[in-house]
Amino acid sequence: MSRWKTILIHGFLIFFTAMTLYPVLLVVRKSVTPGDNFERSLSPIPSRVTLDHYSEVIGSRDFNGRPLFWRIVLNSVVLSLATTLVGMFLASTSAYAFSRLRFPGRRMGLMMFLVVQMFPATLIMIPLYVILDKLGLLDSLVGLVLVYSTTAIPFCVWTLKGYFDTIPREIEEAAWIDGATRFQMFWRIVIPLSRPALAVTALFSFMTAWNEYILAETFLSRETSYTLPVMLQHYVGTHSTQWGKFAAGAVLVSIPVMALFYILQKHLVSGLTAGGVKG
Amino acid sequence: MASVEFRNVVKRYSDHTVISKLNLFIPDGKFVVLVGPSGCGKSTTLRMIAGLEDITEGDLFIGERRVNDVLPRDRDIAMVFQNYALYPHMTVRDNLSFGLRLRRIPPSEIEKRVADAAEMLGLQEYLDRRPSQLSGGQRQRVAMGRALVRRPQVFLFDEPLSNLDAKLRGEMRREIARLHHRLQTTMVYVTHDQVEAMTLADIMVVMEKGRIRQVGNPMDVYSQPADAFTAAFIGSPTINLLPVEVRTGEVERITTIEGQGFSLQVTARFMHYQGDGLMGIRPGDVRLSSDTGNLQGRIDVMEPLGHRVLYTVDTPAGSVLCELDASEARWKPGDAVHVVFPMELVHLFEADGDQKSLLLEGGTI
Ligand SMILES: Nc1ncnc2c1ncn2[C@@H]1O[C@H](COP(=O)(O)OP(=O)(O)OP(=O)(O)O)[C@@H](O)[C@H]1O
Ligand SMILES: [Mg+2]
């Protein structure tokens, strides 16, 4: 009985893991297969292997002859890190206020965050474009950092507030009596205790910036200010589609995100507050 | 060290009054226990001293200073919470020293104080552990240590032992008593455990529904409860309260207590009072006899407690609890007995309102 159950559960899990991984494997296959058309075969094993697509992507240059790929990687990294930092700072401080302070407009503010989440980003694309244009921030990473970090904030605030709410108030009260200021309570007690939630929201902010395409494509026009998703999309041109480079680029783009997940996974494990108060 | 004083303190949450007109003076160096049933406002009172709750009306003084608007960190108090509220991400050592580091005490002094506290509480081996790696009793000690190292003017305890098992609770209770004896610092201690209240308090404050019922030395509160509530709350097993009619003769100064199936005459240690009353007598003060007594009854339940035996006696006046020495306990359930109420041990309360005691101030037979 229990043995059959185990087999069933594992069969189920393996099936869905395969379902998820299979398309990725096909992309990996394409990235190492010569030629630019996407073979219809379903075998994940390539018939011939080449790293040409990779070297083409990595070796690409702008019209001044400077390395383009690394420039774009740098753009994406700076953009994503800056988005994460700005977003985390704004989100954690406001989530703390929403969790611990009672002020007029608190419920309203939380509701607004939810409502804002319901509009797709494309809907606010035009107004954002106008605003960035007026601010002279089109075609600049600063503009995108502002846009990304603010669009990520609602999710981050809700997640962090939910987590902050689970930290017993008495721990902060004890710190307060011990001599802490409000900021010290936040910085030395709440933040260290919120590592799992901070990891989740940081990852979310990072990936928002790392993967976003539509706004970046709209706001960035110079090749040298592109981000990785914009670069990828440009391989899929109107006239010809360079599937090989696209696949190789896609694999390269996903490596840092996977690395990040790997590094952060141990922080994602909850249960850090265990032991502070009687459970 | 400092005294604490409440002057007409009121605490309200929107329109819901939790503490009404609290007046209380806690002398410097005393161990004061706030005791009362759940929800009576003990924690609120303590948290007002700590500064964790605003004071709606009235004044609160710590020493000479009015502290209504002083932040908790500037009140020079330390508090031990019911759920310990340790910093989970810090070692025991860091938990103890956190407050000192925030206050920029020199490191050598911090080290000394932490070592002292650790020694006093037997925490030396655990200094490098996290709270999650400690037992409940050890966490409790860390919470006490964290208060101790601060050397505050006033210690506040909110039911610090209620999460411990009975044996550990006894040990820690004695440890706290020892601590107070040694430090002679003002301590305010909240509990709903009357054993803790009786054993620890220099001054016991009995609260109910946001009001103080009685303040006094625990033995006085026990032997001369100011009202029926206090009589019933303090003392275990619970005092017998029987409805009676009270008549006091003008001339003879004799009070007659008339209950269902019994009548007592006591000399005037009670106020002149006519009307309905409640007669209180502690189970340990009730005697049983096979031939004569004040009230006839039948043994309903017998509960041996070791060297004591607790009888529940069915009588026309209701169930009467009686606690006897095991050597005197010769009755079995179903036996007919006479219940004896020793006159000088009887309490008498008004039946209505606050059920105030009718005992004259300092009165005896
Ligand atoms: N934030 C609040 N808002 C409204 N009412 C509150 C609030 N905090 C406490 N109260 C009320 O105040 C009253 C006193 O609460 P308090 O915590 O002081 O009781 P307590 O005597 O400590 O009880 P316990 O023994 O259960 O800890 C309770 O009736 C409670 O419902
Ligand atoms: Mg309480």
For residues B171-199, average pLDDT:
93
Residue B237: cis peptide before it, omega within 30 degrees of 0: yes
pLDDT score for B361: 60
pLDDT 10s digits, B192-243:
888 899 999 999 999 999 999 999 999 999 999 999 999 999 998 999 999 9
Give the mutation candidate from A169, A172, A177 for the B interface (greatest B CB count, under 10 A).
Answer: A177
Question: Can you give the residue ranges of every domain in chain A?
Answer: 51-167+194-273
**Res. B341: pLDDT tops 90:** yes
Both tokens of A16, joined, read 């869905």
pLDDT score for B112: 95
C-beta separation of A227 from A79 below 8 A: yes
For residues A81-94, average pLDDT:
95
B139/A278 CB distance under 8 A = yes
Residue A273's pLDDT band, with cuts at 50, 70 and 90, is very low
B81/A275 CB distance under 8 A = no
Per the model's pLDDT, the better-predicted residue between A267 and B121 turns out to be B121
DSSP-derived secondary structure for B267-322: ES-B----EEEEEEE-GGG-EEESS--SEEEEEEEEEE-SSEEEEEEEETTEEEEE
**Res. B53: pLDDT tops 50:** yes
The gap from C-alpha B282 to its chain's centroid, in whole angstroms, comes to 17
Ligand 1 atom with the smallest distance to the CA of B44 is 18
Residue A238's pLDDT band, with cuts at 50, 70 and 90, is low
Give the torsion sign (CA, B309, B314, B316, B321).
positive
Give the mutation candidate from B73, B101, B158, B169 for the A interface (greatest A CB count, under 10 A).
Answer: B73
Give the mutation candidate from B87, B114, B156, B162 for the A interface (greatest A CB count, under 10 A).
Answer: B87
3-state secondary structure string across B114-152: HHHHHHHHCCHHHCCCCHHHCCHHHHHHHHHHHHHCCCC
In Å, what is the CA distance from B13 to each residue of A14, B48, B54, B178?
56, 13, 10, 37
| Residue indicated by tokens 């087999």 | A7
Give the torsion sign (CA, A227, A229, A230, A235).
positive
φ, ψ (nearest 5 deg) of residue B89: -90, 5
How close does chain A come to B50, measured CA to CA in Å?
A: 7
Pairing mode, strands B154-158 and B186-191: parallel
pLDDT 10s digits, B232-286:
999 989 999 999 998 887 766 778 888 888 888 887 677 778 889 999 999 999 9
| Ligand 1 center to B68 CA (angstroms) | 20
**Res. A56: pLDDT tops 90:** no
**Res. B3: pLDDT tops 70:** yes
pLDDT score for A275: 42
Give the number of other Cβ atoms within 10 Å of residue A165's Cβ.
Answer: 12
Q: What is the reported pTM?
A: 0.85
C-beta separation of B290 from B342 below 8 A: no
CB-closest option in A180, A272, A276 to B85: A276
Q: Which residue of chain B is at minimal alpha-carbon distance from A193? A: B89
CB-closest option in B83, B103, B130 to A168: B83
B86/A276 CB distance under 8 A = yes
The identity of residue B300, as a single letter, is: D
Closest-CA residue, ligand 1 atom 20, reads B39
**Res. B362: pLDDT tops 70:** no
For residues A95-110, average pLDDT:
94
User: Measured between beta carbons, which residues in chain A are less than 8 angstroms from residue B87?
Assistant: 171, 174-175, 189, 276
Q: Mean pLDDT check: name the lowest of A48-57, A101-110, A119-128, A145-154.
A: A119-128
Put simply, whether A170 touches B (Cβ < 8 Å) is yes
What CATH number was assigned to the domain covering residues A51-167+194-273? 1.10.3720.10
Closest-CA residue, ligand 1 atom 8, reads B44
Percent of chain A, pLDDT > 70?
95
pLDDT score for A270: 54
CB-closest option in A170, A175, A181 to B83: A170
User: Measured between beta carbons, which residues in chain A are less than 8 angstroms from residue B163?
Assistant: 278
Out of B14, B18, B33, B156, give the residue to mutate to test ligand 1, the one with the largest number of ligand atoms within 8 Å of its CB. Answer: B18
User: Measured between beta carbons, which residues in chain B are less than 8 angstroms from residue A178?
Assistant: 73, 78, 98-99, 102, 146, 150
pLDDT 10s digits, B142-155:
999 999 999 999 99
For residues B17-40, average pLDDT:
94
3-state DSSP call for residue A224? helix
**Res. A268: pLDDT tops 80:** no
pLDDT 10s digits, B281-314:
999 999 999 988 899 999 999 999 999 999 999 9
pLDDT 10s digits, A126-136:
888 999 999 99
**Res. B364: pLDDT tops 60:** no
Q: Which of A227, A183, A220 is nearest to A81 (CA)?
A: A227
**Res. A207: pLDDT tops 80:** yes
pLDDT score for B216: 94
Indicate the average pLDDT of chain A. 87
Distance CA A110, CA A91 (A): 12
pLDDT score for B71: 95
Strand partners, A61: A67
Distance CA B81, CA A174 (A): 8
ipTM, 2 dp: 0.87
Put simply, whether B87 touches A (Cβ < 8 Å) is yes
For residues B91-107, average pLDDT:
95
pLDDT score for A278: 46
φ, ψ (nearest 5 deg) of residue A136: 70, 30
Distance CA B185, CA B45 (A): 19
pLDDT score for A208: 87
pLDDT score for A269: 62
Both tokens of B355, joined, read 């059920």
pLDDT score for B365: 37
Residue A196's pLDDT band, with cuts at 50, 70 and 90, is confident
Q: Which of B93, B99, B86 is nearest to B116 (CA)?
A: B93
In Å, what is the CA distance from A102 to each residue of A69, A107, B53?
49, 9, 14
A170/B85 CB distance under 8 A = yes
Which residues form ligand 1's pocket by a CB distance below 6 Å?
B 13, 16, 18, 36, 38-44, 192
Ligand nearest to the CA of B206: 1
Closest-CA residue, ligand 1 atom 10, reads B18
Out of B19, B40, B193, give the residue to mutate to test ligand 1, the one with the largest number of ligand atoms within 8 Å of its CB. Answer: B40
